[in-house]
Amino acid sequence: MNNKYEQVVRLVCGDDWCGPDKSADDRDGALGVAIILAYLQGIPARLPDLASALDLPPYLLEMSYKRLQANGLFSPRSYIVGDPVLMGHAGSDESRLTAWCYIAGMASGYTGMGFTRDEYAALYGNKEEQKHESRA
């Protein structure tokens, strides 16, 4: 990841944000922080553009990106566009950290719209079971 984004990711998510003990959803949350930071710095809200700015392949960002998109964070009416707390122009350090943690939570699927990977798998599994039951 591009160092200028990783510094903020480490501050919000910890130095071990991509460690072996972290779940894929945890890593998605950290990547979401980087995505939103890039977006707030003027990178267009298109997956290839964000991936290029972060120096990461798009497939690594896809789940985080879709969750953030589902929560409306790339909408022109989104509350994050120009948010003084996220931009560091208002609020305390604690309120800024809380705001960025909320972004990480949405990107990970732990809060907001969207699901964790386990929840997606459970939903998919239930649909498959329903298909088989209806055929019987």
Rounded Cα distance between 57 and 64, Å, is 13
Please say if the pLDDT value at position 129 is more than 50.
Answer: no
Instruction: Give the pLDDT of residue 128.
Output: 44
- Rg of the Cα trace of the chain? 16
Instruction: Give the pLDDT of residue 134.
Output: 45
CA nearest neighbour of 47 among 30, 35, 31 = 35
Instruction: Give the pLDDT of residue 78.
Output: 81
The total domain count for the chain is 1
The mean pLDDT of the chain is: 84
By mean pLDDT, which of 12-21, 31-40, 80-89, 102-111 is the weakest? Answer: 80-89
Which domain, by its residues, includes 31? 3-135
Rounded Cα distance between 49 and 39, Å, is 10
Mean pLDDT computed over 61-79: 90
- pTM assigned to the model: 0.83
Burial of 55 (0-12, 13-18, 19+ CB in 10 A): exposed
- pLDDT one-digit tens code per residue, 78-125: 877 677 777 777 777 888 888 888 899 999 999 888 888 888 778 777
Rounded Cα distance between 51 and 49, Å, is 5
Instruction: Give the pLDDT of residue 126.
Output: 54
Rounded Cα distance between 51 and 121, Å, is 26
Rounded Cα distance between 34 and 37, Å, is 5
